[in-house]
Amino acid sequence: MEKIYREIIHLLHQAGELVKEELAQQDVVVSTKSSRSDLVTNIDKLVQNYLMSSLNVLIPNLKFLAEENGLTELSDFSGKVMVIDPIDGTNNMVLQQKDFCILLGLYEEKIGRCGFIYEVMGNHLLWGGPEIGVFYDDQPWQMQKDLSLEDGLISFNSKIFRENILKSHELSQRALGIRMTGCAGLEMMDIALGNRVAYISNLQPWDYAAGQIILEALGMKVRTISGKSLSLNGRELMIAATPKAYQEILES
């Protein structure tokens, strides 16, 4: 599989170049989906189409669960499945031209094999899984520190924090501070990098698949807010955290 993973990394870099070229032309076409802040652009669709057509050639009989183009549900997870978020943090891409990423999660018989979080503008890649290990910018990567809530930064989906869902105000007071980047993939990358102790959100499978595979391979926790396994089926309230912070949040 390592050869295939290398090919996937090459595809991600190619997709990143496509994104940068499109942004440079300054004619991003933005439309809304479920609400005025749920955005999709021509770039999201371009990246998903590019990745799907290339991955189809690379991995025979691959199935897809992906955010755009009506691929948002998959009942049969047998064989190999790629979960794709072509641009995670579309609002950031449109409004800031930074702080967004491309997310891929490869499953085999519904078991996470390898996740990829590619931060496009800074050209940083976190990838890996339970068999191959985890790599950050091509360096082998381990869990940094198992910090508790009191010793680190916590992050939230902004609605969860604004509306004080899941005692988020109380949790934020226990932590050393709060951060909200508006990009689930980068929040999960920051947990892997040791920059956050926890992230609480309400996510779809394509938002968490890559991060879950990588964080679990590092020995970190990604579960529903009641401590169950995420289902890969629809939106779920979830926690990604260091083992210590996860336990503290569950007991709070």
Sites of contact with ligand IPD (CB under 6 A): 85, 88-90, 157, 182-184, 201, 203, 207
Distance in angstroms (rounded) separating the CA atoms of residues 19 and 74: 27
Comparing CB distances to ligand IPD, the nearer of 88 and 148 is 88
**CB neighbour list of residue 94: distance below 8 Å, 6 or more residues apart:** 28, 30, 39, 41
The residue from 88, 119, 187, 236 that contacts Ca ion (CB under 5 A) is 88
Least distance to ligand IPD, CB of residue 137, Å: 22
Distance in angstroms (rounded) separating the CA atoms of residues 163 and 86: 28
> Which among 151, 42, 129 is positioned nearest to 93, based on CA atoms?
42
Comparing CB distances to ligand IPD, the nearer of 159 and 167 is 159
> Which among 166, 150, 158, 167 is positioned nearest to 187, based on CA atoms?
158
Least distance to Ca ion, CB of residue 100, Å: 8
The residue from 51, 81, 85, 127 that contacts Ca ion (CB under 5 A) is 85
Distance in angstroms (rounded) separating the CA atoms of residues 81 and 64: 5
Least distance to ligand IPD, CB of residue 239, Å: 14
Distance in angstroms (rounded) separating the CA atoms of residues 6 and 208: 22
Phi, psi of 36 (to 5 degrees): -70, -20
The residue from 207, 208, 223, 240 that contacts Ca ion (CB under 5 A) is 207
Does 22 bind Ca ion (CB under 5 A)? Our answer is no
Comparing CB distances to Ca ion, the nearer of 87 and 239 is 87
Least distance to ligand IPD, CB of residue 86, Å: 8
Write out the residues near Ca ion by the rule CB under 5 A: 67, 85, 87-88, 207
